[in-house]
Each structure stands twice: as structure tokens, then as C-alpha cells.
Structure 1
Amino acid sequence: MNTAVTLGYVHGYSDHEALRLGCQADTLAGLLHAGTAYPAGSRVLEVGCGVGAQTVHLAAGSPRARIVAVDVCEASLVQARARVAAAVPRARVEWRRADVRDLPFADGEFDHVFVCFVLEHLVDPVGVLSGLRRVLRPGGTITVIEGDHGSALFHPPSRYARAAIDALVQLQATAGGDALIGRRLQPLLDSSGYDGVEVCPRTVYVDRTRPALVDGFTRSTLIAMVEALREDALAAGLLTPMDWDRGIADLRRIADEGGTVHYTFFKACAVNPPRG
């Protein structure tokens, strides 16, 4: 994640977070990557590739495209190389350490840009999206995927569980990001100068009849993301220790029999118009 344009990646860079990102990407690959396949020979830029969790699925879905994956964190790039090499041995991926505000590429060098779970952490998403137009050829496309924590609905209901999720939203805002950014993709891309913006909600619904999602999404993605921020939430005074622990316990109940969860991701596609 590009720390140059954010006040801090709220989830951190721990091994636990790397595992969570991989589980999230693998669990949601069919949902989020459906409809994303780039032609042979096309040049694709993945911005903020992190540990390569999404790069794996980009490479698998477009095996003959030429992917350049960039991130500001060298340690994440090391993990990304290893992850993709193990999962997609013949993947055509070039790895570059780069700042998204100052990309070391020629004007119009890429046919497509892919941005997943990056804008939510940026101080100036419009500025970044506008800047990406320089390296994207006229007529090229951009794909942006983001979540929206405000879309999380669950049963059994719990004000403590809701407060724990809201604490994550507040922590991300304090770090300069926006955990509710999914609902803003259309106006963000429109304000950045793109044409033909289309946004499609991609909804996850989980109950006991979908055990793979109970484990992969409810437990290993949503709950893991929230509970990892316990110390930060308490240090910020957002909840008392007792209320936080009650909230996490209630979140875990939604993974039990009788529990359900609903969450919406937003996938936007747009075109870089001719310069002039």
C-alpha cells in the first residue's frame, strides 16, 4: 500500500494481515474478478498490489496479458513475487516498487489499469485516479474495486458488533482513508475525468448452507479484519475493553448456526477519454 498518499495503512503489515488478504482474495475471486479478463498482449498496470493476493487472480484470468504490478513496500513485493510464482508459475508479471503519485512509466503506456482495495486508504483518491490517466492510453480502461463497511448487515443483531465495525471505519478515517468509499466510486471516477463509468454491486451473502463462505469470508475476512484492530480501537478510546470484547464475541456468533451476514463490494469500470 502506498504510504506516500495515506497517513497509514490501518490494517498493518503483519503476517496475520498477509494471510487475511490471501484468504479474502481467494474466497471472493469468483465474485470480484468475474468479467475481468484482458486480451493477449495487452499491458495491464495493477496499482497497490501489496502481497499479490489479487495479482494471482489477475494473472490466472488473463494468462497472456503483460501485467506490471507496483507497490511502495518492498517487503510486500517480495511476498507478492513468491505468492504468484507458487500459484501461477507461468504468469507474466513484472514487479516494480513505485509511488502511485509518481509512476515511472511513459504516457499512455498501459491498455488497462486495475485498482483493488487501494482507494479506501488514500488521502486524495481523485488526485490519484486523475494521475493514473497519464499512463493509461486514450480509450484504455480502468477497473476499481472497493468495499463499503456500511453495507455490512448481520444476524443476530448486536449494537456491540456494530460498534466494533464502526470503530474500524473511524480508525480508517483518522488514518486519512474512507472505509465507506465503495458507494462513492461513480462520482470519484467521474470527477477524475473518466468516461462511461459503470458501477456494479457485488454482494456476498453467507449463512450455514454456505460453509466455505462462513469460513473464508465471515471468519477469515470480516471478523479477522475487525478483531485485529483491538489495541488501536482501545487506544483511541472508541470503545471500552468490555464493549469491544462483547462486540467481537457477537460478531463470532454470526458464524455459528443461525447466523447470517451480507456485505456489498462495488466494482467500477471506466474509459480514459482522448486527450485534448
Structure 2
Amino acid sequence: MGTDYVHGYTADETRRLTDQARTLADLLHGSTRYPAGSRVLEVGCGVGAQTVQLVTGSPGIDLVSVDISEESLALAKARVAAEAPGARVEWHHGDLLELPFEDRSFDHLFVCFVLEHLPEPQQALAVLRRLARPGGSITVIEGDHGSAFFHPRSDDAQALIDCLTDLQALAGGDALIGRQLQPLLAGAGYDDVRAWPCTVYADETLPHLVDGFTRKTFIAMVESVRERALAAGMRTPAQWEQGIRALERSAEPGGTFHYTFFKAVGLVPGGAGPCG
């Protein structure tokens, strides 16, 4: 399943993903722990920002990390070697719908920031289910751009967020997928699905979140689609700069920013086992 990664494969995007993973490590991954010796499949590992969180949070697991981009895999390998030396990771280049693994060959599945880019996310979840043993678990994490709100309120800034959402839809994805995780997993055949919000709120009393999330994660993500939005005629260069300036005010003293990620865990039918 080829995907059009709307943010692009650039050095700036690699930095953004790194900042996001580090800033949100506890929020998104604090409850994800796998027993040593577990075989875990990470689908869509990208540049390895989440891979590092997995192997450091659950030392001793046997991790298999897959991505459709060979360039991203090379960056992920280098990152894990530098930041988590000694971690047991197998790397595979491939399409998540055509993975060469035996049925029931993993204890747990981990999918983070992948479904938002897929045209048929429920189909992908159903295909992955066969790879996990009965009673094994799946953990899914996704954002939801509809949850972004900020002060000072600005129609110019909101227009840029709408550009991001619309461009992702044109590329075959869904930037509002976070709110859909429970029904998607249930519809794909997983049992005992639980989903919950993971909310980020930043103001001047939380400077690490203002810098790490508002500026370096969210505003940087909006900026990553500038050329696409301009080429599509969604905004003019002047309108884009005006919107970015308005969005940046939420990261200044007196500004606030809110965003919600969603995390869901389900069980593979046929057994009882702990969720990751």
C-alpha cells in the first residue's frame, strides 16, 4: 500500500518527528510496556523516533520494525544504534499489506501515526490482526487535527490547519482519525478495545511544551505543507505568512495551545493476554 506522505521526507521533517517523540514520550508511551522476550511488530517505524521509545521503555523485547521508505529505515537504524545501543531490532522494508511474516508470529502489534496516511485504515488493521497470536495485543496512537484550538483565536491560523487537513484527505489519508480508533479497531475484529485521549496543553508556564510541541511539532507540521498548499491554490504566500504569524502568537506570552492525541488498545481474538 503506497502512501503519499503529505509532510515530505526532508531533514526538517526528521527533526520535527524527533522533537515530537521526545516531547511527548511520557504522554504517549508511558502506559506502553511489553515483557522482556516479547516479539513486537512496529508498523510504519519512519525515522525511528518511536522505535527508540519502544526499546527503551520495554528493554529486552525482540522488536521488528517495518517501513515502506528505505530512506526512513536507514535513518531509523542509525538512530537506534546511536540512542539505544544493544536493542534487539530487526528491520524490514515493505508494504504493511504484504508483510512476509507467518500468521500468529508476534505477541504485540504497535502502530503509531500510520493510519492517518492510509486510504483504508480498517482493512490494514484487519490484515495486521493475523500476524498476532490469539490473546496478543495491538496498540494504536493517532492525532486529530480537529482537536487543535488556541488563543488568541484566529481565522487566518485556522485556515492553515484546514489546509493541512484537506491536503491529507487529497493524499488519501484522514487527519481526523484519532477520534475513530475505537470503532476502527472493533470493526477490524479486535476484542476489548479501549480508547482514551492524550491531551497536550501549553502556555507560558509550560515552556518545554510551548517549544517542543507548539513550535517544533505542530507549527512545524503546518509549515511542512506550505509548498503543497500554495501550489494547490489554497492560500497565497501573503495569506500563508499571515496565518503562520497568527499561529505563532499562541506560542508567545499570553498565548495557549491545545491538541489531543488518541491511544487505543485491543486484544486479538482467541485468548486472554495483557495489553501493551
Bin of the TM-score, shorter chain as denominator length = over 0.9
SS at match of 1:67: strand
Counterpart for residue 15 of structure 2: 19
Q: Distance in 2 between matches of 1:14 and 1:65?
A: 30
5 Å matches for 1:65-84?
A: 65-84=61-80
SS at match of 1:160: helix
Counterpart for residue 195 of structure 1: 191
Q: Is the 8 A contact 2:2 2:68 kept in 1?
A: no
Scaled by the length of structure 2, the TM-score of the pair is 0.97
Counterpart for residue 125 of structure 1: 121
Q: Distance in 2 between matches of 1:5 and 1:177?
A: 12
Q: Which amino acid aligns with 2:164?
A: L
- Bigger drift between 234-243 and 218-227 goes to 234-243
Q: Distance in 1 between matches of 2:268 and 2:2?
A: 22
Identity of aligned residues (%): 63
Q: Distance in 2 between matches of 1:122 and 1:60?
A: 28
> 2:57 aligned with 1:61, yes or no?
yes
> 2:202 aligned with 1:206, yes or no?
yes
Q: Which amino acid aligns with 1:83?
A: R
The one of 162, 165, 169 equivalent to 2:165 is 169
SS at match of 1:254: helix
Aligned CA RMSD, in angstroms, stands at 0.9
> 2:115 aligned with 1:115, yes or no?
no
Per-residue CA deviation, residues 174-198 of structure 1 (Å, 9 max, x unaligned), is 0000000000001111110111010
Q: Distance in 1 between matches of 2:85 and 2:208?
A: 26
Q: Which amino acid aligns with 2:44?
A: G
Counterpart for residue 247 of structure 1: 243
Q: Distance in 1 between matches of 2:152 and 2:130?
A: 48
> 2:245 aligned with 1:223, yes or no?
no
Q: Distance in 1 between matches of 2:43 and 2:193?
A: 19
Q: Distance in 2 between matches of 1:213 and 1:272?
A: 35
Scaled by the length of structure 1, the TM-score of the pair is 0.97
Q: Is the 8 A contact 1:5 1:124 kept in 2?
A: no
Displacement after TM superposition at 1:261 (Å): 0.3
Equivalenced residue count is 271
Q: Distance in 2 between matches of 1:80 and 1:217?
A: 21
- Bigger drift between 239-248 and 22-31 goes to 239-248
Displacement after TM superposition at 1:236 (Å): 1.1
Displacement after TM superposition at 1:36 (Å): 0.4
Per-residue CA deviation, residues 226-268 of structure 1 (Å, 9 max, x unaligned), is 0121111111111222221111011111111001000000000
Q: Distance in 2 between matches of 1:25 and 1:188?
A: 24
Per-residue CA deviation, residues 125-146 of structure 1 (Å, 9 max, x unaligned), is 0110000011111111000000
SS at match of 1:54: helix
Unpaired segments ≥5 residues, structure 2: 272-276
Q: Distance in 1 between matches of 2:163 and 2:95?
A: 29
> 2:139 aligned with 1:137, yes or no?
no
Displacement after TM superposition at 1:16 (Å): 0.7
Counterpart for residue 235 of structure 1: 231
Counterpart for residue 91 of structure 1: 87
Q: Which amino acid aligns with 1:101?
A: L
- Bigger drift between 84-93 and 159-168 goes to 84-93
Counterpart for residue 159 of structure 1: 155
Per-residue CA deviation, residues 186-231 of structure 1 (Å, 9 max, x unaligned), is 1111110111010010000000011111110010000000012111
Q: Distance in 2 between matches of 1:230 and 1:72?
A: 24
